[in-house]
Amino acid sequence: MQPPPSWGGPVLDIHHHLRRDIDTDIGHMEGSGVTHAVLLTRAPADEQARQRMEKYPKKFIRFSSADAAKPEAADILRASLKGGSRGMGELKSHVAVDGPEMRRLYDIASEMGVPVLIHFGEVEQYPGEGTFNTGLRRMAALLKQYPKTTFIGHADFFWGNISAEVPMDTPYPKGPVKRGGITDKLLADFPNLYGDLSANSGRNALARDPEFTAGFLARHQNKLMFGSDCSCSDGRGTGQASKQPLIAGKCVARETLAALKSLAKPEVFRKLTWENGRKMFQMTA
């Protein structure tokens, strides 16, 4: 078997959905050269995430999620945070990002000093999927209203909006980026917005326009964080569920890390893959 890649230092994956057992979690990390991870956990599985942290106290922190559309979400997440969860996410519900269901969660997040990781989807990936956390175009007002809440943006509509032209017939737009996109502006204007580079959405955004991407990564070098959101089992691409061309049969962690390595200066690569997350989550190597 190929040796795992080395990325020249510790690597934090901020988008690691809790897998079926601890060996599979560790297997994916070791196979892709990732050393630390934020475990994204549905609140009922908090206990499983806690067990992983007991076994590897330095490697993991955990977030908890609940469906914001359900009235009980606020109580569930408050209890998870009191129990040691360090953030909310990912939050992926069929609601508006600035609607009452989400606002009550932002209030809790700001009160408890934890970030919220949000899935933005306004173009269906398949018919009937619906939309998630709609209203990216209204985010400036929201970021102003919640200066004490740290928002981490993720998913296809967040990344589609690096461009000022956003086709509404594909979640993964291709080709040159028209300067002046909403995501680029929001990251520049609001200290409480960060970006999660995970998934095919992040990988696709990085691949569109290398000249734009190099500048984008340099511009927001203190605001972007590597994540995988990978469905492969071993950090080598085995069992990858996505058929999207950039990641089909591959490990998203490896692909995105390789892209970042080639597009960012070494000191920026360290920030994106470790320093920014380490600071936000007070992790140690």
What residues line the site for Zn ion (CB under 5 A)?
90, 119, 155, 230, 232, 251, 253
CB of 87 to Zn ion, least distance (A): 14
Per 3-state DSSP, the chain is made up of helix, strand and coil in percentages (nearest 5) of 40, 15, 45
Report the nearest approach of Zn ion to the CB of residue 228 (Å): 6
- Rounded CA gap, 214 and 178, in Å? 14
At 234, which amino acid appears?
Answer: D
How open is the CA angle 63-68-73, to the nearest 5 degrees? 70
Residue with Cβ nearer Zn ion (48 or 93): 93
Question: Rounded CA gap, 154 and 149, in Å?
Answer: 16
CA distance 235 to 222: 26
CB of 28 to Zn ion, least distance (A): 6
Secondary structure letter of residue 177 according to DSSP:
P
Nearer to Zn ion, 28 or 220 (CB): 28
Of residues 108 and 251, the one with the C-beta less far from Zn ion: 251
CA distance 211 to 273: 20
Residue that is written with structure tokens 């970021």 in the block: 143
Q: Based on CB atoms, which residue is closest to Zn ion, 119 or 203?
A: 119
- In the complex, minimum distance from the CB of residue 254 to Zn ion, in angstroms, rounded to a whole number: 7
Q: Which residue lies nearer to Zn ion by CB, 46 or 90?
A: 90
Smallest gap from residue 241 Cβ to Zn ion (A):
10
